[in-house]
Each structure stands twice: as structure tokens, then as C-alpha cells.
Structure 1
Amino acid sequence: MRILIGAGGTGGHIYPALATAQTLLRAEAERHELHFVGAVGGMERELVAAAGLAFADYHEALAGPIHGVKPLRMASSLLKLAAGTVQSLGILRRIQPQVILLTGGWANFPVALAANLLRIPIVIYLPDIEPGLTIKVLQRFARKVALSAAPSLRFFPEGKAVITGYPLQADRLCADRAAALSYFELDPTRKTLLVFGGSRGARSINMALADSLERLLAAGLQIIHITGELDWARAQQQLGDLAGHAQYRAYAYLHAEMGLAFAAADLAICRAGASTLAELPAFALPAILVPYPYAWRYQKVNADYLSQRGAALRLDDEDMPAELGDLVLALFADEARLEQLRESSRALANRDGARNLARLLLETGRG
């Protein structure tokens, strides 16, 4: 089957698309021809290349954000939307896909408009618990909407939405704890803290960790810290001599190795982007979730989904500098509480998201 996949914006939108593509390409019963389309200048090109998947080709279409931007930028985005729709019409006419998967984000708008004009069936995937404006608009063009979790059903017409789970990349799921500790050269007798900020990093998390790092290391913890490429140099400079500590491992970003980081960790500190809904439960990993405070509320909703089910703790960004270090030490001092968080997280795990979404996509393409 000829399938076009459109994803862009953040890793939380791109990685589930790549995981679904990986599942489709590994299918033995049927061969599929996959094409990818992203926004001009988006981070998706780099992530698609890093995934090493056998896409037939990679396309780009102009796109720009419309919601929550200043009038001048909105005018520019509307022009890009018009041009991107024309570009997308050309791409779709050349490829003639039988079905299209879109994972949200403004980069999908031109493709969705073009597909609607050409009557090509669309499956929308909602990574987060609550849809943003883009998904709310795109779902009008979609045949089906795939969801990460049941609380999202209330936002869509009855019969249109299907719970598939969040698609996780197979190479992440096979990570083994012993192998992970060996890879990072960590001590299996010590507790491991994983700190990361998503595909773009999180400066406030990096700064709060730096303020508490000496205490955490003195308590015997070992730390895997993923700063994000944008904040790498500043974070390393702030840490000074601690950056070379024997119990501290710092990385600008991890791709395929991220599964090893999850497998090695006993506790995570991270944002509450879409991927946390699946990655943390898949590894039964307790977490302190710090929702990104400067955008629409979807990360707060994601954090509440996990925290209200006993799988994580929510710590707001403004409270983090004063509370993070004490909270981490308190959790590691209370093994019973950590184990309770771990079991609650494990209960939410769904490792079949990629397989379920791939099946829905093929069913929709066959009509």
C-alpha cells in the first residue's frame, strides 16, 4: 500500500510517526511504499534521517503557525499555508497515496487541505490527552482519529476515535537494564536519576538540576543528564568542575540510545510532552513531571493524567528551583513510595501502540 506520513513540530509528534513507519516496513504479509512529508526547515528532516528508515522519498511543504502569533507573522503563515497547499497537491498527485497519517502540528495543515480536495482518506493521531486547535481543525478532514488514552475520547464524535496507544519505537522497547547501565558505565549498586527536557531541551530544568547537583551526587546518586542541544554549552559552563564528576553523565541529545537511558533509570525528571504518556509506563519509570509553562496547557493535562493515576508527581516550573532537590532525595529515601509509583506506572503501559496504529491505517486505506 502507498502511504504518506506527515509529522512535524516536536519529537512528541515525529517519533510516533516513525514508530508506525517502522512497524509497517517490517510487515511480512504485505509490502508497503512509505513517503514522508514535513515542513520546510523543520526538525523532522534530521529525525527522519537519524531513524534510518527506508522511506521511498522525503518531501517538504511550506507551513507556518497561525494560532497565538502576532498579526505580521500570521499574514506570513497564511501565505505559507496557501503555497504549502499548492505544493502538497503536487506531492499527492505524484505519489497517489491510498491513505495519509498525520500526527498533528501546524506543519500538517497544507497536506490535510490538499488531501481533502483530492478525497484521500486521512488518519489523525493525537499524541496528547487533550487536542489543541490544530487537531480540532484537522479531525474534520479525517476518516479516523487515533488516541493515546481513553480520556481523549470525549473530544471527538462517537465512532470516529479509536484508542491505539502511543506508538513507541521498537528499538527503545528492547532496552535491557543491565546492558543500559553498562553502556553508560554506571554502577549497578547505585540509584540512577534521568533528567531530560524533551527534543528541544528545558533550560529551567537544567538550571534547577545544576543548583541541586552537588547535593544529589553527595547522596550517592548517579545521573544521566540530557541537556538539549540548544542549552548544552551553557549548562556545561554552569556546572563547572561537577560536569566531570564520576557519577554524572551529560549528553546534548540521545536518539536510539534513549531507550537505554529509560532502562537504566530509577527516577526521571522531565517535561510532560506526549511521549512521556507511553515511554515512562513502558519502562515502569516513576517521574517528577515539570509541565512546560509558556504554551497551551496540554503538558499540564498530560502531567495530571499520570499523576492522578499514581504514576508520577507533578512539579510546576515556578516551584522547581526551591523544591526539586528535596523532592528527589525524599523519593529515593522512601523505597516503598518509589515502588508504588513504579507499579502504578507499569499498570498504564501499552507497548502495542505502533502495531495498533499501523493496523488502523491499513484498514482505513482499504476502505
Structure 2
Amino acid sequence: MSKIMFTGGGSAGHVTVNLALIPHFIQEGWSVDYIGSEAGIEKQLIEPLQNVRYHGIATGKLRRYLDWQNVKDPFKVIKGAFQAYRIIKKQKPDVLFSKGGFVSVPVVIGARLNKVPVLIHESDLTPGLANKIAIPFAAGVCTTFPETKQHLPAGKSHYVGAVIRDQLKAGDAARGRKFAGFVSTKPVLLIMGGSLGARKINQAVRASLGKLTEKFQIIHLCGKGQVDQSLQSPQYKQFEYVNEELPDLLAMSDVIISRAGSNSIFEFLYLRKPMLLIPLTKEASRGDQILNARSFQSAGFCDVLYEENMTPETLVSSVTDLYANRDKYIDNMQKNDRKDALSQLIDLIKNTAK
């Protein structure tokens, strides 16, 4: 029996591609293992899956800024690498597929020490820090943006495009409205700041809620611990995070406000959903979301509101303009080729396997 091991975590964006791939390998009879952190979101998303063995390891965050945790975290990474090495030695996978995130670094090192070939996936336009560390140990790197090739070693880059989960394609707007208790006669605005939430977006949305609900019914995915129980309205539904219901909520949405993480915005593009992107600032990130947003804006797929310019007033104005011009964005998105990245990625993994 062929064996595959997956890794990736820290946010839902570092798990979604794995979630798209895993059912296909199970269906083809592969043995599937997953190495993630001991308590991260990847554990919540992967552990419920049947026929997948989840292994939790120690992991430390790789920070680009000064923090006293930087003293302790390298020891966690070393511990995680030893744990991953032992797990991989025991399970003997034919290939490791890494989606990135901090947990992936010790796993990639453990695979290299066991002489297991590694294939990495990079969603953003430029590689993140974890993938930069891991790339020298990998046989190849699969990219979502064609421009990413110029940031990678010669001969390692494979442009596959965006991987879209099969379940997202099966979303049903009527089911979404039933779940939310919404009517079909008023447009729906979906707001999401990623699986970890976006506090500043949440604050701006809630400060302008009266204006927004005049025009829209709102689904607000606000992140863990960020639901405001004092705000109760049939026009405004809050959730920390949704999983099974997300395809239906996307199907019923007319426009979307979101951060500019690559996995999410390519899913919106596939579903032809006009989007207002509010990328993380350079102070809060490495600037990858700004590059993602600019790429989509230049293609005519979205409008961009930079966080430095975001107020309750500019938020309302921007999303109102987005909705008014929604047909223009949809037309531009319909011209984009829906590349079958999933099949191409599956073939690359099989070719990389020992």
C-alpha cells in the first residue's frame, strides 16, 4: 500500500489544500497520516476525518520581530523535529506533502533525515518564512501564482494554480439562507478575517452596523473569542468560524469583505464573488497579503481598502461601491480560466513519491 503524510498548520489557510487532497488519496487506497501541532486549528480540522491518523508534535512560532518567546521556541522546533523524525521512521511514508506554516519546518526536517521526498505548496506570491527554511530540503515547490517562480531555486518550481476544495463547488444558496435565517430579497454580505479573525475589521464593521444592515444581510465570521453577544439582529449573524456550512454561506453571498490570504481569495475568484480585500499591513505581516491584493486588483477581480485608510465610513463607502459595480467584477472573473490544479497537484505528488 502506498503511504502519504501531510503537514501544515497554524491557520486554516495552511490546511485547506490538504483537506482538498486527502479524500482523493483515501479513495485511491493510500494510507494517510498527518503531522500537526498538539493544539492548533489543524488538529480541529483533521482529527475528525476518517482514515487519517493525526500525530501532534511540539512547535514554535518563527517570528520576524523581537519577543522573549524567541528564546524558547527554537528548542520547541528541535523537539518537534525529533518527534517528527520518530513518527516518520515508524510510518515510513512514500512522500511528505507540506502546506507550510510553523509546524511544517520540523516535519520537513524529519522527512529529510528519513530520506522521504518532500513536496511543498506555496499559496502566496512570495514564499513565507517557514517555506523559505524548508525549500532547500524539498524536491519541488508547487505555486499558486506564476510570478512565484522568480523567488524559487531554478528547477524546483511547479506552477499549478489555485486548489479548490470539491465541497466548495457544491454550495447551495437556499441551504445557506435557511441556516442563517435570511430572506432571498435582500443582498448578503459575507465578512471574514481568516480563521484567526481580524480585530480591526470586526471593530469597523460593528461601528458601521446600522448603515450596513440598511443595505445588506450580514454573515460575520469574526474569529475565536470575538463574537459580540450584545449585538443581536435578524440582519446580522456572527460565528467564530464555520466549516461544513461555509460552501452554502459562500453560495448565498453577493459580495465579500476579506483579508487577502491566497487560499480564500482564489476560492472567491473560482466562485465569482466580488470582493473587497483588506490586506494585513506590513507591520503585522511580511506584506504577502498586500502583494496578493494588488495582483487581484490589477486583474480587475477585487477592490482594495488598506487598513491604514479603513474607518467605519470608508468601509461602508467601499462595500457599497463594490456592490454597485458587482457585474463588472463578475465579468472579469468569468474571463479567468478555471485551471484544474487539483489533478495536476495529485500527479506531482505521485511522481515525487518513492
TM-score, length-scaled by structure 2: 0.93
Question: Which residue does 1:324 correspond to in 2?
Answer: 315
2:62/2:130 contact within 8 Å kept: no
Q: 1:274 aligns with which of 236, 257, 262?
A: 262
* Long gaps (5+) in structure 1: none
2:188/2:253 contact within 8 Å kept: yes
- Tell me the secondary structure at the aligned position of residue 230 of structure 1: coil
Question: Which residue does 2:237 correspond to in 1?
Answer: 249
Aligned equivalents of 1:89, 1:331: Cα separation in 2 = 49
Aligned equivalents of 2:174, 2:62: Cα separation in 1 = 47
Where do residues 164-203 of structure 1 align in structure 2 (5 Å cutoff)?
164-203=160-199
Per-residue CA deviations over 1:75-112 (Å, capped at 9, x if unaligned) read 31221122111111111110001100011112111111
Instruction: Extract structure 1 runs of 4+ deviating beyond 4 A.
Output: none
Aligned CA distance change for structure 1 residues 184 and 339 (closer, same or farther; 3 Å): same
Q: Which segment is superposed worse, 197-206 or 75-84? A: 75-84
2:188/2:217 contact within 8 Å kept: yes
Code of the residue aligned with 1:285 in structure 2: it is K
Aligned equivalents of 2:349, 2:332: Cα separation in 1 = 31
Aligned CA distance change for structure 1 residues 143 and 323 (closer, same or farther; 3 Å): same
Does residue 225 of structure 1 match 2:220? yes
User: How many residues are matched?
Assistant: 350
* Long gaps (5+) in structure 2: none
2:180/2:237 contact within 8 Å kept: yes
Question: Which residue does 1:306 correspond to in 2?
Answer: 296
- Cα offset, 1:4, TM superposition: 0.6
Does residue 140 of structure 1 match 2:136? yes
Question: Which residue does 1:111 correspond to in 2?
Answer: 107
1:282/1:349 contact within 8 Å kept: no
Question: Which residue does 1:41 correspond to in 2?
Answer: 39
Q: 2:346 aligns with which of 353, 358, 361?
A: 358
- Tell me the secondary structure at the aligned position of residue 139 of structure 1: helix
Higher relative contact order (CA 8 A, sep 6+): 1
- Cα offset, 1:126, TM superposition: 0.4
Aligned equivalents of 1:90, 1:208: Cα separation in 2 = 47
Aligned equivalents of 1:47, 1:325: Cα separation in 2 = 33
Per-residue CA deviations over 1:102-145 (Å, capped at 9, x if unaligned) read 11112111111121122210000002121122212211111111
Question: Which residue does 1:15 correspond to in 2?
Answer: 16
1:167/1:355 contact within 8 Å kept: no
TM-score, length-scaled by structure 1: 0.90
Aligned CA distance change for structure 1 residues 66 and 224 (closer, same or farther; 3 Å): closer
Q: 2:286 aligns with which of 274, 296, 311?
A: 296
- Tell me the secondary structure at the aligned position of residue 3 of structure 1: strand
- Cα offset, 1:360, TM superposition: 1.1
Aligned equivalents of 1:251, 1:78: Cα separation in 2 = 35
